[in-house]
Amino acid sequence: MKLIAANLKANLTPDSTNTYLKTLESTLKTKVLVFPNIASLKANTFINIELGTQDAYPVKNGAFTGTIGSEVLTSLSIKTLLLGHSEMRARGDSLIKEKFSFYKDLGYKIIFCIGEDSNILDKKGFLGTQLKDCDLDYENLVIAYEPIWAIGSGKSATLEDINSTYKMLKTLGAKKILYGGSVNETNGKDIYSITDGLLIGGFSLDPLKFASLANELDSISL
């Protein structure tokens, strides 16, 4: 089953997130995954929306400033983690493997982000190294391929490049692969048709446009 996910990043307040989610829920005819900012997380009680967290520390709770642990997520019935996004890796990725192991043991669905910048010559080697921080045989793992240069740039990778990277990641052992990086209503359908789904950033901030795209993709037999 294909997956459509929205990464809201540091956008929206708790109040505007409530409005966003209500609008999205009332418009959707299919299921989507949404990652609000941590301050705007709320109980996972929607029908067509599954909420996930953009980050979490590999602990239940404790003296770890600026993050949350599994206790908070459990209280909200949140069981999905976005891990390894390039904007987080820029702060250092030494904890990624530890986070993966901890939340894997708790049975979380993990959307594991990988991606290369435009100056990387050995794409397969670079992405393969990133994949070593996760267990590719984990049944609740989804890989999200996001070329760093495409994130927020308004320029998506070409369909040819996305397709070749998708096939290459399959040879490395990835089983379910999303694409992210300047996905919108113009390119979303074509990208969706050659991958296992989409991880959408800026375009997803408009709940009506995001719901319209999700509904359209769900109605297409691919």
Q: In whole angstroms, give the CA distance from residue 44 to residue 202.
A: 22
Beta-carbon contacts of residue 220 (< 8 Å; ≥ 6 apart): 189, 192, 193
Q: Which of 87, 116, 146, 185 is catalytic?
A: 146
Looking from the CA of 154 toward its CB, the CA atoms found within 13 Å total 0
The answer to whether the beta carbons of residues 180 and 141 sit under 8 Å apart is no
| Residue 85 annotated as catalytic | yes
Please tell me whether residue 100 adopts helix, strand or coil conformation: helix
Beta-carbon contacts of residue 102 (< 8 Å; ≥ 6 apart): 58, 59, 70
Q: In whole angstroms, give the CA distance from residue 80 to residue 109.
A: 5
Beta-carbon contacts of residue 139 (< 8 Å; ≥ 6 apart): none
* Phi-psi label, residue 51: left if phi above 0, alpha if psi -120 to 50, beta otherwise: beta
- 11: nearest Cα among 28, 44, 34: 34
Terminus-to-terminus CA distance in the chain, angstroms? 11
State both tokens at 103.
């939340």
Q: Which of 25, 50, 71, 85 is catalytic?
A: 85
| Residue 50 annotated as catalytic | no
Catalytic residues: 85, 146
